[in-house]
Amino acid sequence: MPIATVNPANGETLKTYEAMGAEELERRLQLAEATFRTYRLSGFVDRGRLLLQAANLLEEDQQDIARVMTTEMGKPVKQARAEAAKCAKAMRWYAERAEGLLADERPAAADVEDSGASRALVRYRPLGPVLAVMPWNFPLWQVIRFAAPALMAGNVGLLKHASNVPQTALYLEDLFHRAGFTEGCFQTLLIGSGAVDEILRDERVKAATLTGSEPAGRAVAAASGEMVKKTVLELGGSDPFVVMPSADLDRAARVAVTARVQNNGQSCIAAKRFIVHSDVYDAFAERFTEGMKALKVGDPLEEETEVGPLASEQGRADLEELVDDARRSGAAVLCGGERPEGSGWYYPPTVLAGVTREMRIHREEAFGPVATLYRAADLDEAVLIANDSPFGLSSNVWTTDEGEVDRFVRDIEAGGVFFNGMTASHPAFPFGGVKRSGYGRELSGHGIREFCNITTVWHGA
């Protein structure tokens, strides 16, 4: 697979890069190992100072890097700027809080005495070089939410980014170097996916994190499992968006549109399956469909654009197959559903109704601006439909009934339940899923501890 920037708005190849050879890859692995030996001894104050400088530089670069992201993978430039700002925020969050999140833990005095110790504690120590295999859909954010906590914990990072966002990948390496991190603290590896297995099996690499497809996650987990290495996987999602009768329908429909088409619909935590109580189904479906129809599709570099092209030609073809399969099996197309003419990998905002379990789109993730509508007779059926998916990343529920809130929190199979609002990631809250959406957590204190050696320190009496 070529390592190239191909503008999805017109299919034009803008830049092409040669993959790193074995000699350069070996140099970088050696550098990561050597750098870790000294970087792990640095303190939180020094690491935080460097990370804050990286955040400052990113804010200065916000306009330029936003345009790079948009030309590489097609997200509307306003959203690209917001992504850069979010990354700076997360870096500051970890720079300011990492020391507290990784502070020594003191067991209860009675437990220390019972163990026969004079004193004891739990200390978090870094593991070493961590390989991050990252996706193209949020080319800055996905990396920063790994890199910020990993660097603050004293680890060093090796980034294998998606092959269609090489400029963003190289920018990230340069950003950390300009901030003052030594060269081996964060390195971008311009390599194809075929080289990942060998790196995972290298003894110098101590752990791995992947955000991406289920097949990629299985491959990374298998290789890491053979080498007995820690992994964190954030894979696909087909998040439910449940609307109950007590919901504010106007607001729920407006948020539903944004929740479905954020990042051109190419987000693992985008709402994809809209499960609506029968009492309000027709009213919600009308509002939601009109909102999807009204979206402005166009050049992602234009400020007023709300939906740009899909990131790749293959991605659009895959989405079309899901829609066509549903249509052939009896689904009603309430809007969209037809590829527009012209250049670029555009696909219109689309709403499908009457989706059944036999349709592929019911079981597979639709990575693009396509929504499926389901009618639920009551809360029990809404939960059944929500959980009838191999994925369990996050979920959205619209209700003002506290009894229903408790039921959904108890019964929905997902890593998050967001009430009366859209699923979003924030550095303060853990992020991750269950079932085939992966395992482990990113962000918050849970995320920074994923790649730490949780060490018991015990002193005899």
Q: Computed over its alpha carbons, how large is the radius of gyration of the chain?
A: 23
Residue 234 annotated in active site: yes
How far, in Å, CA of 126 to CA of 450, rounded? 10
Is residue 42 within 8 Å of 154, Cβ to Cβ?
yes
- The single residue of 234, 364, 404, 450 carrying the catalytic annotation is 234
Residue 268 annotated in active site: yes
Burial 302-313 (b: 16+ CB within 10 A, else e): eeebbbbbbbbe
Cα→Cα distances 344→307, 340, 429, Å: 13, 9, 37
Token digits of residue 403: 């009894």
How far, in Å, CA of 290 to CA of 311, rounded? 25
In this structure, what are the phi and psi dihedrals at residue 190, rounded to the nearest 5 degrees? -80, 90
How far, in Å, CA of 241 to CA of 270, rounded? 9
- The single residue of 268, 364, 365, 450 carrying the catalytic annotation is 268
The residues, any chain, with a CB within 8 Å of residue 382's CB and separated by 6 or more, are: 242, 244, 275, 277, 376
Token digits of residue 79: 């959203």
Residue positions annotated with a catalytic role: 234, 268
